[in-house]
Amino acid sequence: MSNVQYMNLNHQTPKNVETIIDRFNIEGKIIEIKAFGSGHINDTYLLKNENDSYPDYLLQRINHSIFTNVPGLMKNIQLVTDHLKSKLSEAAAATEVLTIVPLHRGELFYKDEEGNYWRIFHFIKDTNSYDLVEKEVQANEGGKAFGRFQAMLADLDASLLIEPIPNFLNIEMRLNRFYQALENDSAARKHIVTEEIEYINARTEQMKTILKLGREGKLPLRITHNDTKFNNVLLNKNDEVQCVIDLDTVMPGFVAYDFGDAIRTIINSASEDEKELDKIKLNIPLFEAYTIGYLREACHFLTDIEVESLMHGVLLFPYMQAVRFLTDYLEDDVYYKISFKEHNLQRTKAQIKLLKEIEAHATQLSSIVNTVYSEIK
Ligand code: ADP
Ligand code: GN1
Ligand code: MG
């Protein structure tokens, strides 16, 4: 019998959704399906159950042009979530870690006739994710979340994980792709972005600091999240951390990457794609709150050089994001979801403005990291 009794379908509902949902081992009856969240990569839908004795679910179409090895990706998520759950009580494991809902025969995803890949997680109730951080307590909880995440994964054998996107956060590779896109200029947009190109060109060597420290053996590779923007952590109604989500990019990385990408979204008083650049200011109390939350959880395993590297991550991430958005703009918007024609250009400009602000306050931000670290360790 079908698990889908009645659905409040709308134009955003995927085709053949009943057939897709019926493949999965879900409980109860789904009575409503709606598009959910503001992620840039996957298509996400909330599946509402008929009554509260059964869970709601989160259905996702995995963007398989970006994640080309879906079996490997799902295996990664299973390894990571099993490892996290093994350290928690049964009750905490169910609500503080993502739970994959398998198909009836146990597979972790479903490939439909059109070649789309689908997966389902338990929907974690009574939580919020924030595109824009509002309060210090939220930033502090976010820091705790990602610090704890890294700490709990420190004893997972990294060789078991595949790299879902090879060189994902390698700035050298990102710059090579950017210069290739400039050379191809396939959308004939290069002439519009001369100022942005100049800004990027002036910082290429400086932005390779973390990579170089890694190559010199001064920074260890750890298991990191690699997509720590703030809407990838769920907070409960009391603004306490509930769950780290969006585990698609978990793989070996440097801790400064997770710190830098989280700060990129926390310290910005405006949104990632703010049109009015004057609104992009730094919220330094939120920076401090995140740093305290993170270092309290992570200081026992971090080396002094890793702590020093955090500030390089803070500079690198708005830069890398500007490079990535601008590359996509030059390539005619093939990677990120866009809501209007010049969206990737607007995002690029906003990230460059954010980096200018961070550069202007770098000494102050560095000294906050050092003070917090010396007080906590
Ligand atoms: P994307 O890769 O497109 O960013 P995410 O996995 O981050 O996709 O999901 C998009 C949004 O859906 C998240 O920002 C969050 O708001 C929400 N979300 C994701 N997983 C869950 C979950 N298990 N429970 C509740 N909300 C979730
Ligand atoms: C994407 O999936 P989402 O929306 O959480 C991207 C990140 C970028 C981010 C910018 C797999 O994250 O790397 O930092 O957009 N994810 C992937 O908002 O490319
Ligand atoms: Mg996300």
Q: How far apart, in whole angstroms, are the C-alpha atoms of residue 288 and residue 329?
A: 33
Q: How far apart, in whole angstroms, are the C-alpha atoms of residue 139 and residue 133?
A: 7
Report the DSSP pairing between strands 30-35 and 4-8.
parallel
User: Which pLDDT score is estimated for 38?
Assistant: 87
Q: How far apart, in whole angstroms, are the C-alpha atoms of residue 209 and residue 172?
A: 11
Q: What are phi and psi of 358, to 5 degrees?
A: -65, -40
- Other beta carbons within 10 angstroms of residue 222's beta carbon come to 21
The residue nearest atom 14 of ligand 2, judged by CA position, is: 227
Which residue, among 298, 319, 104, has the nearest Cα to 209 in the 3D structure? 319
Q: How confident is the model at residue 13 (pLDDT cuts 50, 70, 90)?
A: confident
Q: 365, 314 in Cβ contact below 8 A?
A: yes
Q: Is the CB of 121 under 6 A from ligand 1?
A: yes
Cα 10 to middle of ligand 1, angstroms: 20
User: Which pLDDT score is estimated for 114?
Assistant: 94
User: Which pLDDT score is estimated for 309?
Assistant: 98
Q: Is the CB of 76 under 6 A from ligand 1?
A: no
Strand runs (DSSP E) across the chain, as ranges? Answer: 4-8, 30-35, 43-49, 57-62, 100-101, 110-111, 117-122, 127-128, 222-224, 233-236, 241-244, 251-253
Which residues have CB atoms below 5 A from the ion given as ligand 3? Answer: 39, 232, 246
pLDDT digits (tens, 9 = 90+) for 309-346: 999 999 999 999 999 999 999 999 999 999 999 999 99
Residue 39 Cα: closest atom of ligand 2? 4
Q: 64, 248 in Cβ contact below 8 A?
A: no
Residues touching ligand 2 (Cβ under 6 Å) are: 39-41, 66, 227, 229, 232, 246, 248-249, 272, 321
Amino acid letter, 364 = Q
Q: How far apart, in whole angstroms, are the C-alpha atoms of residue 7 and residue 20?
A: 14
- Other beta carbons within 10 angstroms of residue 7's beta carbon come to 17
The residue to which tokens 């955003």 are assigned: 12
Residue 36 Cα: closest atom of ligand 1? 12
Which residue, among 210, 227, 296, has the nearest Cα to 261 in the 3D structure? 227
The residue nearest atom 1 of ligand 2, judged by CA position, is: 40
The residue nearest atom 18 of ligand 1, judged by CA position, is: 37
pLDDT digits (tens, 9 = 90+) for 231-271: 999 999 999 999 999 999 999 999 999 999 999 999 999 99
Q: How far apart, in whole angstroms, are the C-alpha atoms of residue 71 and residue 47?
A: 23
Q: How far is the first Cα of the chain from the last one, in angstroms, to the nearest whole number?
A: 58
Residue 66 Cα: closest atom of ligand 2? 11
Q: How confident is the model at residue 5 (pLDDT cuts 50, 70, 90)?
A: low
Amino acid letter, 170 = N
Pocket perturbation via mutation, ligand 1, pick of 36, 165, 338 by most ligand atoms within 8 A of CB: 36
pLDDT digits (tens, 9 = 90+) for 174-217: 999 999 999 999 999 999 999 999 999 999 999 999 999 999 99
Mutual orientation of helices 304-330 and 343-360 as an angle, nearest 10°?
A: 150
Cα 27 to middle of ligand 1, angstroms: 20
How would you label 66-99 residue by residue, b for 16+ Cβ within 10 Å and e otherwise? ebeebeebbebbebbbebbbeeeeeeebebbbbb
Predicted confidence (pLDDT) at residue 7 exceeds the cutoff of 60:
no
